[in-house]
Every structure is written in C-alpha cells, then in structure tokens.
Amino acid sequence: MKILDLTGNGGAPGPAEAVCSRKACRHGAEWQLLWNNPKIHTPERRKIWLACGEHRAWLEDYLQTRGLWKDTVALNPAGRAS
C-alpha cells in the first residue's frame, strides 16, 4: 500500500519568489524580459528572464546585442503590491 502525501510543499520554490535572472544577483525581480531565439524556438515562443531594477538594462542590452530581445514588461507579483 502506498501513501502519497500530496499536501506537502516539499520545499519547492513558489512562484512568488521572483528573483533577478542575472548571475549571482539575489534581488527581487521588478521586470520581465521577453525574448526568443529563432534558431531554437518557434517564432511565437517567449522565454522570460526576470530582472531587478539594477540589472534590467544589462539584461536588455545582452539580449538586444544578440537580436533575441522582444519586450520588457513590469512584473506584478500576484497578491503583493509594492
């Protein structure tokens, strides 16, 4: 007989913990950078990087330099107003 505990959180990171995608940055994300790599993604596919205010420009520049950047939109964590 198996007993499956479906109620445990298991330590999995919740969606509310949005952290900047910049390497080694632990700041909370304020922006979503939408991008697409036409070499490996279908045209309608959107990958998302999260960026804090400090690294938004750095990450945008990184994507734009490679022709991958599509859009930048503000991140609004559900249920948490800043």
Measured from the CB atom, is 20 or 68 closer to Zn ion?
20
As measured in angstroms, the least distance from the Cβ of 44 to Zn ion is 28
Measured from the CB atom, is 57 or 64 closer to Zn ion?
57
| Burial zone of 80 (CB within 10 Å; 0-12 exposed, 13-18 middle, 19+ buried) | exposed
Chain residues in the site for Zn ion (CB under 5 A): 20, 22, 25, 27, 52, 55
Q: How far is CA 28 from CA 20, 24, 31, 52, 61, in A?
A: 6, 12, 9, 6, 20
Measured from the CB atom, is 52 or 63 closer to Zn ion?
52
As measured in angstroms, the least distance from the Cβ of 30 to Zn ion is 9
As measured in angstroms, the least distance from the Cβ of 27 to Zn ion is 4
